Structure 1
């Protein structure tokens, strides 16, 4: 670890005083880090409000242009106030650090959601694009170019509302027609006029929106390659492919947004009136289950109108792309052969073994590096809070000698895995039901479920009552919200008990082991390559495979990962 980074850790005190506003903040959970900053939860001890506190060590701001850049970011950000932009509440400094107090976006960013989901449904893409566009229009109306719009800078709050953040590359237009010349941005989202240094303006944000929409629907950025050189070459040539199966309005909009001539790209206001955003269903709210599972889009969902035109009809799509081995049948781009290297990612479809093979490979990678020998203590850099799981089993009761196993997910959904291998899951809203058998997954609304499910519903209610009255919950709960009618949560795919632990494997690939002796838990996520550990004191720590390979882990955790490997192997063989 560099001396500068060590100093950042040393100087971050548990209670931080804002001498400007006469306020004390209690430093809470570590949220993550960037190039120059670390981020923690900051609790205002006077009001109880919780914010995200961005801490920049002054030892990282030695060069004048670094200071100038940071204070330009602060000045631009604090001048903006919009529903879909992260709020900057205040900033202050002491002898060691500069502190920026920001709105807390507890559901992380679209980048983490994208990693878990791969692709988004068309209604979800419309939902997020509308919010980004409203933020973009506001920024442009106020002469601000963001210049780094990407999934990682689009944050989500508790209500699943999008918030544009990170104004580190933002700039303000000083006069009409001004063209900026700075080479900046993120490679997969950077506009061609920035690369060619011809001068750029608001249109670079519009280009980035095209890359974002494409990524949401297809699963990877339009110009992504294995090398920076090839990516830049494809951007300059406007060389990308559109799936034939893509929604026609989305395809039309992407072509406009990714027009090579910046002056031919539409403004934010014009995009908001495009067919993609006016002639299709846009949810008024998304459930938090969307963070890891595709939502249910049903035909009785009404259109969210952007205008008062009541004659517009909904356009309902699932957003799924067809599965095929022939790339030529999937991609089109001016008649060109797409070549063998372009991969099509399906809509989060799980492999047949529900990621058991991926889990095994993940643990093999960890264990072969001898993690307990690498461990010399646990700096915050060893954790990655962005990989936190959103779904795990928080309560369970085994009544398999008669009915089956009942369980509660951390979002308060209740499930029963019956002895006949069928499932019922009652979602957290208490209204929506998922019924899973060998043939299909069916959805019902309480109390309108088929009469043949009455006995199973009685058993589910029994489990629900027992768990709520007798069991402690492991982890935090989520409140039912409007929008839960679109929820679709993972269900228990397999489980068994040993003398050491009870083992769960969920349909989204999540593996969980609850250990009997010390009441600790491990939760493994194959999609995020993450290990979460809940210790005896119910402290929650999240590690990714690369971080364990770098920093190691406690011998006690290594033993539990060894155990998990054996159990996953057992699940694969069965």
Structure 2
């Protein structure tokens, strides 16, 4: 079993188990190691890939929780498949490093071998990230890779999907299915392996390869984090391979030249001219730029609070950039860090004007045309993908728009108000930090102990909304609690909303659209960037599905009808202006 330190940061803490199906029922709920007789409880579904399905596994004796990779033996009939798994287990059980997924053990029975979000989900939600974030993720990945190379292990499949994040946003290198051990100095491996967008030219050329392939992959990862897409990506696999062999890629002009130079060094066609893993962290990109000591979980969906726009409410309440960005261990103490330029800290690209509503319309139109509830065999469990779980959703709301605005609580217990004048105020879950968003979306950061007098009434109203929701309303869905005390956290805010007789529709600034149905209290949460829907049913059970997989495997009539309704509501959002719109007529 591959051990993950705590739950994946991208997952809600306790969404219930997946719906039953023939395939899932074959995996027993209680797993028994035939040798040690230790018993493990199979818990929530974490995801799948290749032949394996991953579940949360609890040791019933110690109560320790692991990520369990379960592979049907029917998929391991050929000798090379068995050898691959044997090699994967042998390599991973020999490793122990804070930036490498830990290994607890494995066992098998007659049917199964029993042996999570990643940077890929972050990439899908965020596209390009800021430079400090890229340094943070790359530094930890390089440290893990240094350890691997020091132990003569070549990973050979480094990519965003194999870089996992735990609750503390620490990077853990995982999936050693293609890893190999170098048996003697100068040995060159000949196996053609890797993932197309990250595969090195010497692997494609079958000329023999070694540790340098991991450096190439790190260059592709760095490019993808900063630019928002892989350097050699095309819609055609053959064309991608041609570009890799020709070293045909370009670095956009907005990329910092220091970052571009490091990417170019890692993506040299001649592997002998690439830097070694031990040289990378000494590059100017890392030594002269700000690296956060930690990142908030809010980074999974919105950029962190590095640069702060000037505030029109009171210039004295704009924290200077240097004050925010100082520090490795402390937000106010800088040690050996070069000055940071504003352009280095700003989010690399802005969201589309409609905040991904056009993408969502295309997804829902395609899904509804497929008539998923009419599929002959509905296998909804096959459409489930917990890696797509939403990071934030609205857990409570109260409509006081006849006087002031709409108040709401997010799943992390932060509270916000979208006022009737189209300004927004958010109080973080620490009860002290405040985020104020003006009509033009300029953001200011304050706290309840120090704010301009012009905000006194709005802060008083926000506290009223918070107290009312705390005392009178039940919370929807599971809970995510971001770590306390992180000064870099930003929250998505309520962009617009409206009510019909059937539901309330809420559109967040990270693209999420949530629809709460009044009659049966069911809810759907749509994420256009992940192309996924989360459904909170009448029993308050929480499941997340990929829309493309619902098209393929079908869904219940109940979910299908809500997705048809959602398309109509998204169309209304597209036609609305920023701020609240009120629909009195039935829809």
Range 259-268 or range 134-143, more displaced: 259-268
**CA 1:379/1:62 → structure 2, altered by over 3 Å: closer, same or farther?**
farther
- Name the counterpart of 2:279: 270
Closer, same or farther: CA 7–78 of 1 in aligned 2, 3 Å: farther
1:227 corresponding residue in structure 2: 236
| Residues 281-326 of structure 1: CA deviation (Å, up to 9, x unaligned) | 1011111111111111142222439xx99444233455589xxxxx
* d(CA) in 1 for partners of 2:118, 2:68: 16
After superposing on structure 2, the runs of 4+ consecutive aligned residues of structure 1 that deviate more than 6 Å are: none
Going from structure 1 to structure 2, the CA distance change for 1:348 and 1:89 (only over 3 Å counts) comes to farther
Preserved CA contact (<8 Å) 2:30 2:40: yes
What does residue 132 of structure 2 align with? Answer: 123
Contact 2:408 2:416 in 1 (8 A): yes
- Aligned twin of 1:239: 248
- Structure 1 match to 2:545: 543
Work out whether 1:45 is the aligned partner of 2:69: no
Alpha-carbon deviation of 1:504? 0.9
Q: Which position in structure 2 is the counterpart of 1:520?
A: 522
| Aligned twin of 1:255 | 264
Q: Check conservation: 2:290, 2:337, Cα contact below 8 A.
A: no
Q: 1:546 to 1:480 in 2, by over 3 A?
A: closer
CA distance in 2, matches of 1:253, 1:562: 48
Match of residue 340 from structure 2: 315
Q: Give how far 1:440 is off.
A: 3.4
CA contact (8 A) 1:146 1:167 kept: yes
Q: Output the TM-score relative to the length of structure 1.
A: 0.90
Distance in 2, matches of 1:379 and 1:532, equals 12
The partner residue of 1:90 within 97, 105, 112 is 105
Q: How does 1:330-345 map to 2 (within 5 A)?
A: none
CA distance change for structure 1 residues 567 and 245 in 2, over 3 Å: closer, same or farther?
closer
Paired position in structure 2 for 1:58 = 73
CA contact 2:327–2:335 (8 Å) conserved in 1? no
**Distance in 2 between the 1:526 and 1:238 partners?**
33
Q: 1:460 aligned to 462, 485, 490, which one?
A: 462
Q: Which residue of 1 aligns with 2:26?
A: 11
> Which residue in 2 is equivalent to 1:199?
208
Distance in 1 separating the partners of 2:451 and 2:334: 36
Question: Are 2:480 and 1:478 equivalent residues in the alignment?
Answer: yes
Deviations 1:378-410 (A, max 9, x none): 352121222111111011112222221110111
Local SS of the residue matching 2:45: strand
Cα deviation for residue 10 of structure 1 reads 4.3
Question: Which deviations, in whole Å up to 9, do the C-alpha atoms of 1:332-362 show, x marking residues without a partner?
Answer: xxxxxxxxxxxxxx94522222222222222
Contact 1:122 1:318 survives alignment (8 Å): no
Residues 297, 318 of structure 1: 8 Å contact kept: no
Bigger relative contact order, structure 1 or 2 (CA pairs below 8 A, ≥6 apart): 2
Q: 1:118, 1:347 within 8 Å by CA — same for their partners in 2?
A: no
Shift of 1:482: 4.7
Query: Partners in 2 of 1:518 and 1:127 — Cα distance?
Result: 44
Alpha-carbon distance between aligned partners in 2 of 1:496 and 1:268, rounded to the nearest angstrom: 53
Per the alignment, residue 389 of structure 1 pairs with 390
In the aligned structure 2, how far is the partner of 1:370 from the partner of 1:480? 38
Task: For residues 434-493 of structure 1, give each alpha carbon's deviation from its aligned partner in whole angstroms, at most 9, with x where no partner exists.
Answer: 211213322223122221111111111111122222222112223342563212221111
Equivalent position to 1:211, from 216, 220, 228: 220
Any gaps of 5 or more consecutive residues in structure 1? 1-5, 322-345
Residue 250 of structure 1 contacts residue 276 of structure 1 at CA under 8 Å; is this kept in 2? Answer: yes
Aligned-residue RMSD, C-alpha:
2.0
User: Normalising by structure 2, what TM-score?
Assistant: 0.88
Say whether the 8 Å CA contact 2:327–2:334 is kept in structure 1: no
Using the alignment, how far apart are the partners of 1:18 and 1:211 within structure 2? 40
Deviations 1:144-170 (A, max 9, x none): 000000001000001111110000000
Give the structure 1 partner of residue 432 of structure 2. Answer: 431
**Alpha carbons 2:328, 2:335 under 8 Å: kept:** no
Task: Check 1:129–1:460 CA distance in 2 against 1; reply closer, same or farther (3 A cut).
Answer: same
Look up the SS of the partner of 2:105 in the other structure.
strand
Whether 2:198 is the aligned partner of 1:189: answer yes
